[in-house]
Amino acid sequence: MSQAVMKTFIGIDLGSTTTKSVIMDESSRVIGRGITNSRSNYGTAARVAGEEARVDGRFTLFRRALTESGVLNGHLGEFLAALERSFRVEQFSDQLNDLERTCLGQLKGGRFAALESRLQEALGEAFRRLRDEAPSLYAPGAKRKSDFFRDIAGARFYTHAEAVARETGFPYEVLLNCYDKSIIEVENRPPSGGLNDHFRRALARVLAVDDAIVGQAAGDVRQVIEESLELELEESYLVGTGYGRVTLPFSKEHIRSEILCHGLGAHLMYPRTRTVLDIGGQDTKGIQVDDQGIVTSFQMNDRCAAGCGRYLGYIADEMNMGLHELGPMAMKSERPARINSTCTVFAGAELRDRLSLGEKREDIVAGLHRAIILRAISIISRSGGVTNEFTFTGGVAKNEAAVRELRKVINDNYGDVSININPDSIYTGALGAAEFARRAYEGGATPEARP
């Protein structure tokens, strides 16, 4: 019997901050989504986001198959959450092993030679502690600052290495140095071993501790998962978009402008969309689409990224806060400050000046949110105004204070308009790209061979 194959269509959106990937099936249904930080290496970012989307896609297939089989009635959500946590531990451990091997590889000859045996011992101990605590990092309800390996492993490695250094008297800097020299290499390498092995080991771990799934049920679950894993996800066609698209080794046929992708993506999410606003890391786009999601007009910020996502990032840095804390702070404001300039470079000066005048932090931050929305509205009006329905996408759409201002300004200028904000709005561009891939394939395009 030949292996079952499912055709899939991949959209990759290489943004300035994050890289997103969406996998879709032949009937335009999204199977999986993946996101990673763009780093300085778009090739790696595209690969990692793609793999994340494939992992997510497998979970979608598990869910579908398990729902259909009915073996886990009432327990499905809990089981899948446990399986995912367990899978993440598998992946994390695998990358930790890789990191340890890479660190040890640094010892061969060269500057660490004199310290080799002691360093090997100290590193071994730090990694043993990291591995031991790995399951707790992914325990139910555990909070992680980030889901990216580098962020999690980095923070924990520093803690353990410092403790080991203190206990053994081995120089901390040498351990750090060893880590720093290895992390980029590891980060840019996909986890070794097949994904399927990780899924199988993760499943075994879950079944071993889950008292609700025993005997026949465990066997059934194993069989359903195994059958899902047998299904090959064929990458039938891929389309890349976003700022990094030109750096990818794709031919023109595999590349679409992010303006078209955002327009189409917003249309797929909300078919009645006619105006799309996207505020990304370094650009703001106002896009008009027709009833087919075809772009009829667009405007973008020119030359200068004033008032884009980076502006808020910069303000957060200036205030020594997390980006996600800005919105909630602005929501507390009762009298937003009037701020006209959206120049990112001047924002710091403006902020300090107003603080020194005694203005409240929340009022200033609320004023800054309003300023970027006003700038965005100016771009939209240049693109042709707002026509019902209106869809807001991009990283800034996650910021509640920005959304509040936007609703207000849209209402003042264009009256009663439906404003759509999708929880998955960050994937809008990748979604449009995936649909372009599907259509290209449907239209007879054949994918090129890629390295």
Partner 1 sequence: MNATTAAPKTPVKDVEKDASMQKQKAMMAAHYDRLTDAPQTGAKVCSTFVPGNLNELIGCFDLLNNLPEVNAIQNGLRRTSGQFVLEAEKIGHSEDVCTYVKSDIGMMAKGNLAPNGRKFPNPDVLLLSYTGCFTFMKWFELLREQYKCETIMLHTPYMGDGKVTPNMLEYMVKQLKEEVIPKLERVSGVKFDIDRLRERLKKSAQAEDDLVYVLKSARNRPSPIDAYFGGIYYIGPIFGAFRGTEDAVEYYKFLRAEIDARLAAGMGPVTPEGDMGKEKYRLVVEGPPNYTNFRQFWKMFYDEGAVVVASSYTKVGGVYDFGFRHDADRPLETLAEYCLGVYTNRNLPMRIDMLTNYLEEYAADGLLINSIKSCNSFSAGQLLMMREVEKRTGKPAAFIESDLVDPRYFSAANIKNRLESYFQMIEQRRAGARSAA
Burial class (CB in 10 A: 0-12, 13-18, 19+), 338: exposed
Residue 345 makes contact with partner 1 by CB under 8 A: no
Residue 145: count of CB within 10 angstroms of its CB: 9
State the angle between helix axes of 323-331 and 309-318 in degrees (0 to 180), rounded to the nearest 10: 90
Least CB distance to partner 1 at residue 257 (A): 4
Selected from 223, 247, 297, 340, the binder of partner 1 by CB under 8 A is 297
| Coil, helix or strand at residue 361 | helix
Choices 1-9, 97-105, 174-182, 293-301 (CB under 8 A): range interacting with partner 1: 293-301
Q: Minimal distance in Å, beta carbon 259 to partner 1?
A: 4
Q: Considering the rule CB under 8 A, would residue 257 count as an interface residue with partner 1? A: yes
**By C-beta, is 168 or 251 nearer to partner 1?**
251
Q: Are strands 295-300 and 284-289 parallel, antiparallel or unpaired?
A: antiparallel
Query: From residue 96 to residue 135, what is the string marking binding to partner 1 with x (rule CB under 8 A)?
Result: ----------------------------------------
Determine the interface stretch with partner 1 among 224-232, 271-279, 286-294, 423-431 (rule: CB under 8 A). 286-294
Question: How far apart, in whole angstroms, are the C-alpha atoms of residue 15 and residue 151?
Answer: 19
- Do 158 and 166 touch, CB atoms closer than 8 A? no
- 295, 347, 372, 386: residue in contact with partner 1 (rule CB under 8 A): 295
Interface with partner 1 (CB under 8 A), residue total 19
Residue from 139, 212, 294, 349 binding partner 1 (CB under 8 A): 294
Name which position in 28, 146, 168, 296 contacts partner 1 (CB under 8 A): 296
Selected range binding partner 1 among 54-62, 112-120, 176-184, 297-305, rule: CB under 8 A: 297-305
**Residue 435: closest CA among 277, 272, 281, 260:** 260
Q: Which of residues 35-54 bind partner 1 (CB under 8 A)?
A: none
CB 37 within 8 A of CB 426: no
Q: Which long-range contacts (CB under 8 A, 24 or more apart) does 316-319 make?
A: 318/347, 318/348, 318/351, 319/351, 319/361, 319/365
Binder among 68, 302, 412, 416 for partner 1 (CB under 8 A)? 302
206 vs 264, beta carbon nearer partner 1? 264
Q: Are 240 and 224 in contact (CB under 8 A)?
A: no
Helix (H) or strand (E) holding 18: strand 18-24
Binding site for partner 1 (CB under 8 A): 243, 256-260, 290, 292, 294-300, 302-303, 382, 384
